[in-house]
Structure formats: structure tokens, C-alpha cells
């Protein structure tokens, strides 16, 4: 097995996410309400959160460009794009681990879940179709000049 510097860095910095969220909720996909509320409290570490959630730098740059200085909108786009991504199942557990990795902690997510509650996320069929079109348009929008 070949160990790279990046792999050693990953092994050293992964910490187990401790939270007061019930185990049964950790495998569920977060709903729109949870992501909307979480976007309000992330703040300036939204770019780091996007990296932890596996979004590409290009996607994050596009999100940042499209939303200007609006951190809440940036964070909301990052969270929703992560949930649409099919590489890793976007669970509450993955979100907890990402929040711990960026040193934001999972307590904010725990409080949101207590307030909003957890329901099973069911994507609508038109959302799936619109999601692909929106992603394509956002990528194309990066090449257009801003007014």
C-alpha cells in the first residue's frame, strides 16, 4: 500500500463526531427545513464545509461567484448541492462528521433537529429533473459576465 502525504493527513485529522442526535436519525437524508436552518448558522466556514462534504473546488467557486457576499445563500447552495450529489449518500451522519471536521461541532445540528424535527426526505420527481438542469445552468452561468 502506497501512503501519500494526503492520506496521512486524512488519517491524522479525522475525529469521531460526538453528538446528541439519535442513532436512528444519522442514516436519514436531511430535509429542506434542516438544511435551511443549518445554512443560517454555518457562517464563514461554508467553503470548508463544502470541501468536507466532497464538493469540487470548481463547484464551490461557482457557488461563491453566483451568491456574491451572501454567506447564507452560499451555504444553502453548498448543502443542497451536496444532498443532490450521488457519490456519497447525503446522511445526517455525514453532515455531523463534516461539522466536526471543520471544528463547528454538531451541537448546532442537534438543536436544529430538536426544533424542526426529522422527517423522511422524499425527493420529488420534478426536483430530480430540475436539479440536473439547474446544475448545468449554474455551471454555464460561471462563464457569463456579472452585471
CATH of the domain at 28: 1.10.533.10
Average of pLDDT values for 30-58? 90
pLDDT, position 138: 58
> pLDDT tens-digit profile of 13-39?
555 555 677 788 888 888 889 899 999
Whether residue 6 is contained in a domain is answered as no
Whether residue 126 is contained in a domain is answered as yes
Q: Return the closest-CA partner of residue 98 out of 55, 44, 41, 50.
A: 50
For CA atoms 43, 48, 52, 53, the dihedral sign is: positive
Answer yes or no: is pLDDT of 145 > 80.
no
Q: How far is CA 71 from the centre of its chain?
A: 14
Q: How confident is the model at residue 147 (pLDDT cuts 50, 70, 90)?
A: very low
Q: What is the pTM of this model?
A: 0.72
Whether residue 124 is contained in a domain is answered as yes
Residue 23 is classified by DSSP as G
pLDDT, position 60: 92
Whether residue 9 is contained in a domain is answered as no
Whether residue 34 is contained in a domain is answered as yes
Domain that holds residue 68: 17-141
Amino acid at each position: 500500500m502506497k501512503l501519500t502525504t494526503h492520506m496521512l493527513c486524512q488519517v491524522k485529522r479525522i475525529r469521531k463526531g460526538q453528538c446528541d442526535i439519535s442513532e436512528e436519525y444519522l442514516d436519514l437524508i436531511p430535509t429542506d427545513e434542516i438544511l435551511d436552518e443549518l445554512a443560517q448558522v454555518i457562517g464563514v466556514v461554508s467553503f470548508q464545509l463544502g470541501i468536507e462534504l466532497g464538493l469540487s473546488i470548481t463547484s464551490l467557486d461557482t457557488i461563491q461567484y453566483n451568491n456574491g457576499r451572501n454567506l447564507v445563500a452560499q451555504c444553502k447552495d453548498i448543502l443542497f448541492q451536496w444532498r443532490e450529489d450521488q457519490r456519497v449518500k447525503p446522511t445526517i451522519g455525514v453532515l455531523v462528521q463534516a461539522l466536526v471536521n471543520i471544528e463547528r461541532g454538531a451541537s448546532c445540528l442537534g438543536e436544529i433537529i430538536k426544533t424542526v424535527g426529522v422527517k423522511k426526505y422524499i425527493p420529488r420527481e420534478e426536483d430530480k429533473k430540475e436539479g440536473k438542469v439547474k446544475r448545468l445552468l449554474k455551471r454555464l452561468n460561471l462563464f457569463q459576465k456579472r452585471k
